[in-house]
């Protein structure tokens, strides 16, 4: 059984990281245009910080005896962002390839302590991660995202994850692009305080639509960039579609996306409560495979999640 197969059939959740961008920019003092951590891969100090960041989460995985999903810092790496980041499209693709190499080096160094590490090629939305997508059709989305997904695949990524997806057509296009590149995909939707996508679609309708349009191509779905209180109610009906949700990366804050967008300070929430809430989520999600965090979360939050989930599975 290869590492991806182990992830898909695990009976205890693997760990991943927290809010990489909020950690870098609010807690470590780095800056980058458009909140795009990918540009910092050319900064030696930022690379050293990223190494410390991932090492901390891998240490947790080692202590918990779990596998680990190691993200590439490539959330805004699709070429449509190049001009806003003052880069050429080729430079941006070069950074995606470099991000995979960086992740592979980390995996190599931890391979004797964490046996199962997946290199997860991260793709973000072509537009704002807090607003409904502006891409009207899946064909356009596939064309926009194919160059980065191809670069990630050819550089050695094990799977592709579309993070902070806000609409169905873009999710479909990315799932198709990943399939064409020969990699499994994960579609992670962001949800508003009412538990719906920014597009207004319900989570179950979005999952069903993407599955129908792609012949069930995504390996699983994930929820990110929303507090558990925002979407817990949508998971409470026990329906079969819940088995398609394999990951949760929640926000530390209960603030809405609009409030977070205006915030000048970081709302770190309560790490211990965050961990307890994930124990409740795990009871609602029969196929939960990956847990970590999103905006405002760091090693403390994911550590509390691991404590709650892995002590139960021990």
Per-residue pLDDT tens digits for 41-85: 999 999 999 999 999 999 999 999 999 999 999 999 999 999 999
Give the pLDDT score at 130. 62
Mean pLDDT, range 222-250, rounded to an integer: 95
Mean pLDDT, range 210-222, rounded to an integer: 98
Mean pLDDT, range 269-274, rounded to an integer: 96
Give the pLDDT score at 300. 98
In this prediction, residue 267 has a pLDDT band, given cuts at 50, 70 and 90, of confident
Mean pLDDT, range 4-28, rounded to an integer: 96
Residue 313 has pLDDT above 70, yes or no: no
Give the pLDDT score at 74. 98
In this prediction, residue 292 has a pLDDT band, given cuts at 50, 70 and 90, of very high
Residue 192: other Cβ atoms inside 10 A? 18
Interior/surface letters 69-105, b for 16+ CB within 10 angstroms, e for the rest: bbbbbbbbbbbbbbeebebeeeebbbbbbbbbebbbe
In this prediction, residue 101 has a pLDDT band, given cuts at 50, 70 and 90, of very high
Mean pLDDT, range 132-161, rounded to an integer: 94
Mean pLDDT, range 241-263, rounded to an integer: 90
Give the pLDDT score at 237. 83
Inter-CA distances, 195 with 19, 190, 273, 313, Å: 20, 9, 20, 28
Give the pLDDT score at 311. 80
First to last CA, the chain: 22
Give the pLDDT score at 129. 58
Give the pLDDT score at 240. 92
Give the pLDDT score at 265. 83
Judged by DSSP in three states, 18 sits in coil
- What angle, rounded to 10 degrees, do the helices at 44-64 and 299-313 form? 20
In this prediction, residue 131 has a pLDDT band, given cuts at 50, 70 and 90, of low
Q: Which of 112-116, 176-180, 194-198, 265-269 has the lowest mean pLDDT?
A: 265-269
Average pLDDT, the chain: 95
What pLDDT, in 10s, does the model give residues 151-184? 999 999 999 999 999 999 999 999 999 999 999 9
Give the pLDDT score at 158. 98
Residue 224 has pLDDT above 70, yes or no: yes
Residue 42: other Cβ atoms inside 10 A? 13
């Amino acid at each position: 059984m290869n590492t991806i197969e182990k992830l898909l059939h695990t009976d205890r959740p693997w760990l991943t990281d927290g809010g990489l961008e909020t950690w870098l920019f609010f807690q470590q003092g780095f800056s980058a245009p458009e909140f795009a951590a990918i540009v910092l891969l050319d900064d030696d100090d930022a690379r050293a910080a990223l190494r410390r960041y991932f090492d901390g989460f891998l240490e947790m995985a080692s202590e918990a005896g779990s596998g680990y999903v190691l993200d590439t810092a490539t959330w805004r790496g699709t070429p449509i962002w190049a001009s806003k980041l003052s880069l050429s499209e080729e430079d941006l693709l070069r950074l995606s390839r470099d991000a995979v190499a960086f992740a592979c080096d980390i995996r190599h160094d931890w391979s004797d302590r964490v046996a199962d590490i997946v290199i997860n090629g991260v793709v973000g939305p072509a537009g704002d991660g807090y607003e409904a997508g502006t891409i009207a059709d899946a064909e356009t989305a596939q064309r926009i995202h194919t160059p980065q997904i191809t670069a990630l695949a050819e550089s050695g990524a094990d799977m592709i994850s579309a993070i902070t997806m806000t609409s169905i057509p873009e999710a479909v296009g990315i799932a198709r692009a990943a399939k064409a590149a020969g990699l499994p995909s994960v579609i992670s939707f962001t949800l508003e305080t009412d538990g719906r996508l920014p597009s207004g679609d319900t989570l179950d309708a979005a999952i069903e639509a993407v599955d129908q349009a792609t012949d069930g191509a995504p390996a699983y779905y994930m929820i990110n960039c929303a507090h558990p209180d925002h979407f817990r109610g949508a998971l409470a009906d026990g329906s079969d579609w819940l088995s398609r949700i394999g990951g949760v990366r929640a926000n530390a804050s209960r603030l809405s996306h609009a409030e977070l967008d205006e915030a000048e300070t970081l709302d770190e929430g309560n790490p211990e409560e965050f961990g307890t809430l994930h124990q409740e989520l795990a009871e609602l999600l029969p196929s939960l495979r990956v847990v970590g965090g999103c905006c405002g979360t760091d090693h403390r939050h994911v550590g509390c999640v691991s404590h709650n989930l892995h002590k139960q599975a021990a």
